[in-house]
Amino acid sequence: MLSITNKAVIIAQSAAKTRKVSAYNIISIKIASRIFSILLWVCLIQVSSLARAGVPSSGDLISSKPFKSPIINADGQLLIHYMPSIAGGMTRASTLLFVPKKTPSAGGWPIVAWAHGTATGGQKLIAPSLSSMLDGGLTKSGFISHYVFVIQSLVDAGYAVVAPDLEGLGAVASVPEPYFNIASSAQSLISGVIAARHANAHLSTHWAAVGHSEGGHGVLGVEAFTAEVPNLTLECTVAYAPNTSIAATVAALGDSILHSRAPKALNFLASQNFNVGLMATGLRAQSPTFDFGSVMGNDLRQLMPVFVTKGSVKIIGDVTKAIASKTPAVFSGFKANWNTTPEMSAFLTANDPAAMPGFNLRVPALIVQGTADAFVLEPLDAALTSKLIAAGDPVTYHTYQGKDHFTIIPAATPEVLAFLARYLR
């Protein structure tokens, strides 16, 4: 049996151990608490950083660097930014910004968004920002685009020119070009304007959209998307020879074949197949399972890879050679019902202003067209604009006698500048 003294010693030793353990536990808890606080602080910083960065929005800048054009007399920048993709989410896009080399007015430079025409069906490196004439190589291939002329004219008139590569084109593009997709073209213009205003604090909130051919087609659709940017005011639009009425164009070219001799008939047939091939390329870009065979025969189908690997002039050349090598009567090209197949019919209805039910324009629009245009047929543009004017839309339509798809640009630009001066200040 333990003595009282021994018991006391044992109790004291036990108490001492308990105090040591308790002290150790307290220290451990304090250290753990401190570590937890640090980790929580780090996490909160990361979460806060992510909240500030957020999900990329249309026009958010990725980079901006000087762009020195040997031809355009302006302060230039190459902008890399985000834009909404028809595939969903955001994709990278490239836009050129040209600003006059002088002091801006108090409200900043009014903006003209310039939309280029068809340089390719989908080869991303055939882009305006990558070509010296800002036209994707059209001038180099023999079709003098006059794009430098119109851009310089706009800069000289006191506008900041925003010139995007359409979606899928340019060095940073990572998605197929959705050719003839009017929503995509509109978003290319709008995101380019937003990016330009991020890059240059001296740009106005007032803007206009001007485009040629396929770009003119996109310009006609841009106002449907302006509600997405309520802080910007679209004052007017201008379309040089807008590429519309595709099904009617193919049909009209067929009528021309019937009344033409062999050389011209071959060109008309090539143009028909070129148009259908471009539409099929655009539809495939947004619907990868689309079957080319539903709208064309095997000979044209075998040519489809060139639509996304070559420039427009070379594509037309390849199509023409293929038809000539087999003769027009034997060549298996587009099918007679190409535009009435379910997928193609839906594509045209959604993207061709001439086929869109209830298509209308609410802001002032100027459409100019050459009577000698072999690509965009003047009677068809006249029919579309007559319908709009009859519906009360604020559309002005002027033709230029003897001007073709490209000479319409220098011929009509004085009128275009006067139109812009009326609405865009």
Q: For residue range 306-315, what is the model confidence (pLDDT) as tens digits?
A: 999 999 999 9
Which residues have C-beta within 8 Å of that of residue 302, sequence separation ≥ 6? none
386, 398, 276: which is closest to 341 by C-alpha?
Answer: 276
3-state secondary structure of 153: helix
- Residue 105: pLDDT band by 50, 70, 90 thresholds? confident
pTM over 0.85: yes
Does residue 23 register a pLDDT over 80? no
Of 165 and 17, more confident: 165
Antiparallel, parallel or unpaired: β 75-84 and 90-99? antiparallel
| Least reliable range by pLDDT among 22-36, 91-105, 142-156 | 22-36
Q: 342-351 vs 182-199: helix axis angle to the nearest 10? A: 40
Q: Tens digit of pLDDT for each residue in 367-415?
A: 999 999 999 999 999 999 999 999 999 999 999 999 999 999 999 999 9
In this predicted structure, what is the pLDDT of residue 262? 81
DSSP 348-381: HHHH-TTTSTT----S-EEEEEETT-SSS-HHHH
Q: How confident is the model at residue 54 (pLDDT cuts 50, 70, 90)?
A: confident
Q: How many CB atoms lie within 10 A of CB 52?
A: 7
What does the pLDDT look like over 247-260, one tens digit per residue?
999 999 999 999 88
* Distances 52 to 112, 172, 375 between C-alpha atoms, Å: 31, 25, 48
Q: What is the mean pLDDT of the chain?
A: 90
Q: Is there a contact between 112 and 420 (Cβ–Cβ < 8 Å)?
A: yes
* Banded model confidence at residue 18, pLDDT cuts 50, 70, 90: very low
Asked if residue 5 has pLDDT above 50, the reply is: no
Looking at residues 356-367, what average pLDDT do you find?
A: 97
Helix (H) or strand (E) holding 129: none
What confidence tier does 263 reach under pLDDT thresholds 50, 70, 90? confident
Hunting for tokens 């040629």 — which residue is that?
212
| Cβ neighbours of residue 83 closer than 8 Å, sequence gap 6 or more | 58, 59, 90, 91, 92, 93, 167, 187, 188, 191, 192
